[in-house]
Amino acid sequence: MFDSRHIKTFHAVVAAGSYSAAARALGYTQPAITQQMKALERSVGTPLFIRVGRRMRLTEAGEALARHAETILDSLTAAQQQMSSLTRLRAGRVRVCAFPSASATLIPEALARLAADHPGVRVELLEGEPPESIHRLVRGECDITLAFTYPGLHEQIPDEVVETPLLEDQLTVLMPTGHPLARRRAVKLADLADERWIAGCLRCRTNFLHECAELGFAPDIAFTTDDNLVVQSLVAEGLGVAMMPGLVLSFLRHDKITGRALDPASRRQVSAYVLREHLRIPATALVLDELKAVAARRVGC
């Protein structure tokens, strides 16, 4: 209904008491002020001023608008300042949903870089495993999702979601120190067909079963847990072996376990997922850039 420029000019006319005085205050010509006030009166559908001799007096509608004009202009100024802060990255909120090993490795490094250069950008961290974390992104519960996929598993990504690959995370077999195969530099999964296994999250377990099936055996899964520290503790006590990603091993170590690479190598793809439209939001794009920079330094994961 209102043009903000017209409200600003109206406020100046009321304060100055005449079109000519408002024109001088704003640096406009008097005809320009007159045209703006006529346009404003057309918008509201009623006169705002009446002339009494050489003076101008507000109509009832003009008095009502005058009471609101300063509040309107203050709100517009506050909105402009907030928009400026968001676009210039002095402020902003980004919700990141990540699986546990990414939350313990990639996220802290990225947030430390962000805090140093853009302390006004706030990041809220949520935890979730794929595919549920992708669903949370689509539902609008987060702005960026970190998730992982395996080559042998079909992944359906909604059309409105953009995937940004971050790194390839190499899988490692964990076994108790002193295990006969610990003397090798790399081990074949088929050589562990008779072992008892500790399995991880649903997606990792599904990939593990798929790889074993490709080699013609069904593993004996004795324990299943999403807790990476529990997996290592069970291995350390000789209760089984486990296949774990490199990101996990970069922050969890146990002196009674040995990790060996698989031959041939097995990897999972770690990626960031964002709704296509959110790439245009400065704070979201900034956090995504920081995650890419941190992931690029993790050679060998």
Q: Which tens digit of pLDDT belongs to each residue from 135-160? A: 999 999 999 999 999 987 777 888 99
Between the two ends of the chain, the Cα-to-Cα distance in Å is: 58
Average pLDDT, integer, range 271-278: 93
Alpha-helix residue ranges (DSSP H) falling in 18-105: 19-26, 30-44, 60-87, 100-103
Average pLDDT, integer, range 207-220: 95
How far apart are the C-alpha atoms of 166 and 291, rounded to whole Å? 8
Q: Count the neighbouring beta carbons within 10 Å of the beta carbon of residue 92.
A: 21
pLDDT greater than 90 at residue 119:
no
Q: What is the pLDDT of residue 75?
A: 78
How far apart are the C-alpha atoms of 251 and 248, rounded to whole Å? 6
Name residue 175's beta-bridge partners: 258
Tell me if 60 sits within 8 A of 29, measured CB to CB. Answer: no
Return the top range by mean pLDDT from 25-34, 153-162, 236-245: 236-245
Residues 6+ apart with CB under 8 A from 246: 169, 170, 171, 172, 300, 301
Average pLDDT, integer, range 32-45: 90
Residues 6+ apart with CB under 8 A from 251: 101, 104, 105
Name which of 178, 171, 188, 144 is nearest 249 in CA terms: 171
How far apart are the C-alpha atoms of 283 and 118, rounded to whole Å? 9
Counting residues of the chain whose pLDDT is more than 90, the rounded percentage is: 53
Average pLDDT, integer, range 267-274: 95
Name which of 253, 282, 299 is nearest 88 in CA terms: 282
Helices vs strands, H then E, count in the chain: 11, 12
Whole-structure pTM over 0.85, yes or no?
no
Tell me if 283 sits within 8 A of 94, measured CB to CB. Answer: yes
Torsion of CA 38, 41, 15, 2, to 10 degrees: -110
Name residue 197's beta-bridge partners: 221, 241
Q: What is the pLDDT of residue 301?
A: 43
Q: 96: which 2 tokens?
A: 């990141």
Name which of 57, 59, 34, 22 is nearest 44 in CA terms: 59
Tell me if 270 sits within 8 A of 295, measured CB to CB. Answer: yes
Counting residues of the chain whose pLDDT is more than 70, the rounded percentage is: 93
> For residue 237, what pLDDT band results from cuts at 50, 70 and 90?
very high
